[in-house]
Amino acid sequence: MIRRISTKWLLAVLAVVVLPFLGFAWFVDAFVSQRFSEDVVRYHLLGHAAELSERLDSIVAESRKNAQILAAVQDVSYCLAGYNDDSMIFGRPAEQLFDELVSEIGSAEFVLAIDNDGHVVASNTLRVGGAELDKWTSSALRSYPWAEKTWFQNALENGSASIDVTRFGFVHEDTDVPPEARYHFGFAHRVLGKRSTFSEVVPVGMVVTLVPWSVVQNEISTYGVTRRRKEELGNLQSENLYATSYAWVWGDDARTILAHKDRSLYGMHVDEPPVNLPAMVEAASTHKWGMYPEYDFNGEHKKAAFRHGRSRKEGGFGWVVGVGVDTREVYGPIRSMTRTIAQASALVLLLAVVVTFVVARRTTRPIQDLEAFTRRVASGDLDAQVPVHGHDELADLTRSFNRMTLRLKDNSDQLVKAEKDAAWREMARQVAHEIKNPLTPIQLWASLLKRAHDDKSPEFEGILEKSIDVIQRQVRTMRDIARDFYRFAGEHRDPVEVELRTIVAEVVEINDAWAQEEGVELIGERPLESGIREPAIVMADPDELRRALVNLVSNAMEAIDGVEPPPGKSAHRIEVRVDRDGDFIEVEIRDTGKGISDEAATALFEPYFTTRSSGTGLGLAIVRRIVEDRGGSITLENRADTRGAIATLRLPVHKRSSSRAVS
């Protein structure tokens, strides 16, 4: 049970301030931080998948548009149509136009004008940046079997065709270039023209724009989940949120890897080893935009989103663009926030405890001082005055306490004197009352004796003897009364080692004749025989102890007087037994008398209480004083097995005798 006010204050602060704060911190960590982080990651991944897909769609759309624009240029048409057999005259302007698109704009790496038979009529002669196209590459462009490709025929028949990622072989195998430099994608757009001035407009060939795959790979390699922030000068800058974020591009079959930061995965299928992620293929095949199931790749747990680009019908390639991030980095900020919340919680808890402790100490110190001075006053030091600090309620209480002790000190002498006077008056009243009873028969018999003497009564001798007998008996009564009051006053001798069994045996022997005369069976201890039982040694005044036991046995005898024996018994029975109970010696006195009434049970050991018409009522009070002065106890209660009462006297075993018995 909590007793100290400072502890209660501390617990109250914990309950009112700290616990709600900890609950709020837990709520922020468990519900806000984690769920918010999940939503933010989902938002970023889905948004970036869509943004990256749109950028690639823009690159594709630009390439398609370039092919369409070039196909409509008259010089390109004249060049392919061989107008008036002067194709070479118009070939140079077409090549200049192609060079400008490649070297200056950088929208493609190769731009070709190809006739209906698959022959390259014109192409760019410069590379991106303005370097001249080498002869090996130019020869490779002109010797490539264009007419054998399916998209070539589609372009002639339908007007345009898309060229998905293809390794054309326009880069020499001995050249050390990254893998993406060997792949291209692009578009072919049919060119219409006239073979002669008056001929009809017919397909004369096509314009083919080939974009290096490095354009797409650069988008993938430089991808990062970023966010914009405003710097001091007002410029918007991007910062990378997740260092482990990466992207990839799959084909329109939603399973073939076309671009990835790990270029060794080019051409591999996602649902087959070594990638082996069929769940991702299923998600990309059944939805146009969404989140992939969380997955493990290269020992890292990841989260990812995807978005399908424009389909071929919409002018694109139907590529599946994916973006992902390692979950350890996703939850890194959460763990950091959790640590911050934990540290803040610990700091708040520490500050709350320290502040509460200081305030509680300052508040409870006057109470503790008041408690200490209260103990001093209770022990009798009425000069104790508590120092007063401040002007609050506790200071007012302290001043009131000091005024109280002053008044107590002023009234203590009068109180003690009044108590002494009351005690002496009560004692005088009791003594007068007890002595008055035997004085009355003495006065009556003395008056009778005087009258017989004066009248010369012939019965004077008999009256004289009778008067002397009555006077002697009443004097003995007054002597007993004086003795009882003397014993109750408590004059003690120093205690000595007493063998309780021997004392009990003596008391039984003293009362044995009385018991036989009354027809009572008195059973008790006999003098201790050496070696038969363990001694029951206690520290007491043997005479006081003997008087206490005699008083108890006498009470048992008087309780039997005038009462029929219990059913089935021919005579009354009083048993006196001595037993060891741990560190105590117990003496039990059982009788078969009338027992103890409920009214008498509450006042048995009170001074001057008696249920008999004679006696001072000090017998049991004297017995209790004798026993309790020696550290013992006495109880009186009715028996549970039959009619009668049990008096139980307990005295502590003398330690030295106990240790001798053990040894």
Residue 43 lies in a domain: no
Residues in Cβ contact with 499 at an 8 Å cutoff, skipping those fewer than 6 apart: 528, 535, 536, 537
What pLDDT was estimated at residue 635? 85
Note whether 461 and 523 are same-domain residues. no
Of 251, 178, 190, the closest CA to residue 218 belongs to 178
R_g over Cα of the chain: 61
Note whether 590 and 658 are same-domain residues. yes
Calpha distance 49→290 (Å, rounded) = 9
Note whether 500 and 466 are same-domain residues. no
Note whether 521 and 542 are same-domain residues. yes
| Selected residue with higher pLDDT from 593 and 164 | 164
pLDDT at 531 > cutoff 50: no
Calpha distance 552→627 (Å, rounded) = 12
Calpha distance 611→168 (Å, rounded) = 131
Note whether 408 and 533 are same-domain residues. no
Residue 571 lies in a domain: yes
pLDDT at 529 > cutoff 60: no
Q: Give 413-438 pLDDT, tens digit per residue.
A: 676 677 666 656 666 665 665 566 56
Structure tokens at 310: 């424009």
Residue 122 lies in a domain: yes
Least confident of 60-69, 136-145, 392-401, 420-429: 420-429
Residue 80 lies in a domain: yes
Among candidate residues 487, 506, 523, the one where a domain is terminated: 487
CA of residue 261 relative to chain centroid, distance = 47
Residue 327 lies in a domain: no
Note whether 518 and 655 are same-domain residues. yes
Residue 541 lies in a domain: yes
CATH classification of the domain holding 590: 3.30.565.10
CATH classification of the domain holding 144: 3.30.450.20
Residues in Cβ contact with 209 at an 8 Å cutoff, skipping those fewer than 6 apart: 63, 66, 67, 70, 101, 107, 108, 110, 111, 186, 187
Helices (DSSP H) in 319-392: which residue ranges? Answer: 327-330, 332-378
Residues in Cβ contact with 376 at an 8 Å cutoff, skipping those fewer than 6 apart: 384
What range defines the domain where residue 625 resides? Answer: 495-662
Instruction: Indicate the average pLDDT of the chain.
Output: 79
Residue found under tokens 């069976």:
521
Which residues partner with 163 through β-bridges? 186
**Kind and range of the H or E run holding 454:** helix 393-454
Q: Give 179-223 pLDDT, tens digit per residue.
A: 899 999 999 999 998 876 667 889 999 999 999 999 999 999 888
Among candidate residues 444, 462, 487, the one where a domain is terminated: 487
Note whether 176 and 195 are same-domain residues. yes
Structure tokens at 29: 């960590």
Note whether 463 and 515 are same-domain residues. no
| Selected residue with higher pLDDT from 545 and 294 | 294
**Kind and range of the H or E run holding 462:** helix 460-489
C-alpha angle 657-661-663 in degrees, rounded to nearest 5: 115
Calpha distance 244→302 (Å, rounded) = 10
Residue 183 lies in a domain: yes
| Selected residue with higher pLDDT from 259 and 583 | 259
CA distances from 349 to 334, 355, 385 (A): 22, 10, 39
Q: Give 214-263 pLDDT, tens digit per residue.
A: 999 999 988 875 554 444 444 544 555 567 788 999 999 999 999 998 99
Q: Give 469-505 pLDDT, tens digit per residue.
A: 778 877 776 776 676 666 555 555 678 888 888 888 8
Q: What is the mean pLDDT of residues 139-147?
A: 93
How many domains is the chain partitioned into structurally? 3
What pLDDT was estimated at residue 33? 54
Structure tokens at 435: 């002595």
Of 346, 331, 347, the closest CA to residue 33 belongs to 331
CA of residue 517 relative to chain centroid, distance = 78
Q: Give 357-380 pLDDT, tens digit per residue.
A: 777 677 677 777 777 777 777 777
The SS3 call for residue 192 is strand
Note whether 196 and 117 are same-domain residues. yes
What pLDDT was estimated at residue 50? 93
- The sign of the dihedral angle between the CA atoms of 396, 399, 400, 401 is positive
Which residues partner with 91 through β-bridges? none
Query: How many percent of the chain have pLDDT more than 90?
Result: 24
CA distances from 607 to 162, 366, 427, 484 (A): 124, 44, 11, 11
| DSSP states along 249-278 | EE-TTSSBEEEESSGGGTT-BTTSTTT--H
What pLDDT was estimated at residue 232? 45
CA distances from 609 to 443, 595, 619 (A): 27, 16, 9
Note whether 638 and 505 are same-domain residues. yes
Among candidate residues 487, 512, 531, the one where a domain is terminated: 487
Query: How many percent of the chain have pLDDT more than 70?
Result: 76
What pLDDT was estimated at residue 233? 44
Q: Give 42-83 pLDDT, tens digit per residue.
A: 888 898 899 999 999 999 999 999 999 999 998 888 888 875
Residue 357 lies in a domain: no
Note whether 506 and 650 are same-domain residues. yes
pLDDT at 277 > cutoff 80: yes
Note whether 507 and 570 are same-domain residues. yes
Calpha distance 424→432 (Å, rounded) = 12
Of 103, 147, 111, the closest CA to residue 128 belongs to 103
